[in-house]
Amino acid sequence: MRGGVDKVRAGHRVRRPAARSSRKGAGYVGVMLAGVLAAAGLAACGTSSAATGPVTLNFYFFPDHSGAIQEAANNCGAQSHGRYTINYNILPTAADQQRLQMARRVAAGDSSLDILGLDVTWEAEFAQAGWIRPWTGTYKQQAIAGTLKGPLNTAIWHGKLVAVPYNSNTQLLWYRSDLVKTPPKTWAQMMSDAEALARQGKPHLIEIQGAQYEGTVVWFNTLTASAGGSILNPTSTAAQLGPPAIKALSIMKQLATSSAADPSLGVQMEDQNRLAMEAGSAAFELNYPFVYPAMKADNPKLFKVFKWAPYPSVYPGKPARVNAAVKGGLPPTLASVYNNPQMQSAYPFRHLILAQVNNGAVRPKTPLYQVVSTTISHLVAPPASINPVPTEQSLRTQVNNALQGKGLTP
């Protein structure tokens, strides 16, 4: 990695092209982070030839209050035997602000950004702009060795490995076994179960993300993929949508206008879903694994009946294709880590995560993802406002306009 370094993020490690810098002895520098365990913060490093002097590598990453990221950076620096140290620069909490800060700085030629944390939907944009470069040769082989195929697929752009997964994530169906003896396998079954509980005066809400932001785009994309479709065509040049998208929109509308919907659905994000489930008002929750340790700490009594199951499918017998996203729990992308004793303790549902991550639905790959995502979120949120067929038609028109640079972003 002559004149550059590995870039890392919950989601991806990427390599940035060489840039003019006042730092001494950039030489060949390699930083390899293995999957970080939510409970352990384990990491490993790889280095190459000696640098001519100590180097400070600026590492831009999302906020981590557990201390695991700082520990990983310290470990990597220590294992370089004085060749470099890693300076962990904390990005804003909001994902869109993280992207905006890094994009503005690299576009302006800021050479102080050495290690970048990219969400899985940003690498196409950064690669297309020439801000990161493909992994090749030995570095590519080391980077992909043992990496799960699902997350690895999110790092491919135009047939090239432009990033390396650092961690992944997937939503599961969380439910209360004191209310539901057998978890539903489909969305129709889940809504039927919730409505039956409502008639009995029992906790019955289905908690999911419905605010106007990326989380609701993830919900729509997951349902569309689970129905056998996709938002964009295979070349990412036009909207595909069609009947699978209409089915997805119908499910979102049905939930939003049913007794199973949380009254706050239209403004809810992941953490609000977690809190509602912990408060005891919900029977089901579609969310990431971070809710498991949170429930254990916040409501030990309810934790005893807090169970998990595969994400509900759209059609019976056809497994859901769940988005791998960067939220909370941070399951690793190295297959071997799932057999680690610490992983088994922290993630008793690890095999379910492994299966869903490998069969995950990748969000649309395009350098214009941010515009496409914003367009979608404005048309599918709040879910109660969806009118399936007209909404699909509007999505098709506006997504195509976004891809062609026409019109204004909502």
Per domain, the residue ranges of the chain are: 6-164, 172-324+360-403
Sign of CA dihedral 13, 16, 18, 21: negative
CA distance 239 to 364: 10
CA 170 to chain centre: 7
Matching fold, domains 6-164 and 172-324+360-403: yes
| Fold assignment, 6-164 | D-Maltodextrin-Binding Protein; domain 2 (3.40.190)
d(CA 371, CA 82): 43
Q: Which residue has the tokens 């201390």?
A: 67
Number of Cα atoms under 13 Å in the Cβ half of residue 239: 24
Evaluate whether 183 touches 173 at the Cβ level (below 8 Å). Answer: yes
List Cβ neighbours of 316 (8 Å cut-off, separation of 6 or more): 185, 186
pTM over 0.85: no
- List, in order, residues 6 or more apart from 3 with CB less than 8 Å away: 17, 18, 19, 26
pLDDT in tens, 17-60: 433 333 322 221 112 222 222 222 223 333 344 445 678 988 88
- What topology is assigned to 172-324+360-403 in CATH? D-Maltodextrin-Binding Protein; domain 2 (3.40.190)
Can you count the helices (H) and strands (E) in the chain?
15, 12
| Tens-digit pLDDT profile for residues 308-362 | 999 999 999 888 887 744 333 566 777 777 777 777 777 788 778 777 877 777 7
Q: pLDDT per residue over 390-409, tens digit each?
A: 999 999 999 999 998 886 55
